[in-house]
Amino acid sequence: MRMSRLVLVAVGVAFLCTANSQAGTQAGKSELRIDGSLQNMSMDSSDSTMLSGQIVYNKFLSDQFSLGAAIRPMIQTQSSDYGDDQTTSFLFLLGRGDFYLTGGESSFVPYIGAHAGVINYEYDMGGDDSTSESVLTYGIQGGGKFFVNENTSFNIELDLSIYSPETEDDYGDSEDVTVTTVLFGYSVYF
């Protein structure tokens, strides 16, 4: 409840600050974005939640469309009562396209998009027991940009990614992994 109030206050402040600003989503511009995120990884057998970050570079091909690349590293450590700690690290390398629903004079610009790429993940169970693999992923994203001025914005995004690891469960089946991410960030346009 406290987190949702904090998000509402931040959105309200950003909206008040952006009431007279122009959107920076103009053809030919570039965007460099840094995000922090809360991520839920859901499999048939378990769920886990972790914090991560993301760096995005976008190039606006038109006022309403951009292509870009994103890097999202994550590290999770789980303690075990029966042995060594388990460390899991993920590196998402994604290509993405976004379609902006408004632009020009708008101070809030919503968008939707899709992404595809590669996830490299490594499980280290301590000692010599570790697994490292790279698999393909795909997904969708949507969010909004609150422009402070033509060259900066605060951002919020919901991202859904799906992949199938090469490892199998106890029955020999590969299970799909769904990663749901809520991202909060800041962009600079140049």
Cβ atoms within 10 Å, residue 122: 15
Determine the Cα–Cα distance for residues 131 and 140; give it in Å rounded to an integer: 28
Mind listing the domains of the chain with CATH numbers?
2-189 (2.40.160.20)
Q: Which pLDDT belongs to residue 51?
A: 83
Q: Which pLDDT belongs to residue 164?
A: 84
Q: Which pLDDT belongs to residue 98?
A: 97
pTM: predicted TM-score of the whole model, two decimal places: 0.74
Q: Which pLDDT belongs to residue 143?
A: 97
Q: Which pLDDT belongs to residue 45?
A: 65
CA distances to 15, 84, 102, 133, 165 from 123, in Å: 42, 12, 42, 9, 12
Structure tokens at 58: 């976008």
Series of mean pLDDT values for 10-residue runs along the chain (190 residues): 52 47 78 90 73 93 94 75 68 95 82 95 70 89 94 95 72 74 95
Cα torsion angle, 145, 148, 152, 156, sign: negative
Q: Which pLDDT belongs to residue 151?
A: 92
